[in-house]
């Protein structure tokens, strides 16, 4: 298995698999930039990632509610 392979989270609910959540987290960290390296945050990417988290969470929460 190639450890450097990045999973695509674009059309996937990040809550369906821990690896998708890990990929989301890595992308979030990278989008935050770096004060040490003088890299500014990518606000567009951060906004997209936050919206993705909220949308996927709401879908997951709805599915859990249906199971009860």
Residues 46 and 27: beta-carbon distance below 8 Å? no
pLDDT at 68: 61
How high does pLDDT run on average in the chain?
A: 90
Distance CA 68, CA 61 (A): 11
Distance CA 62, CA 56 (A): 10
pLDDT at 1: 42
- Between the CA of residue 23 and those of 34, 58, 67, 68, what are the distances in Å? 19, 19, 27, 29
Distance CA 19, CA 12 (A): 11
Query: Using one digit for the tens of pLDDT, what is the confidence trace for 10-37?
Result: 999 999 999 999 999 999 999 999 999 9
The mean pLDDT of 25-50, rounded to a whole number, is 97
């Amino acid at each position: 298995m190639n450890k450097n392979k990045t999973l695509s989270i674009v059309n996937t609910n990040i809550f369906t698999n821990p690896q998708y959540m890990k990929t989301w987290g890595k992308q979030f960290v990278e989008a935050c930039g770096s004060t040490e390296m003088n890299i500014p945050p990518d606000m567009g990417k951060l906004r997209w990632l936050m919206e993705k988290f909220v949308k996927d969470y709401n879908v997951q929460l709805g599915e859990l509610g249906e199971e009860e």
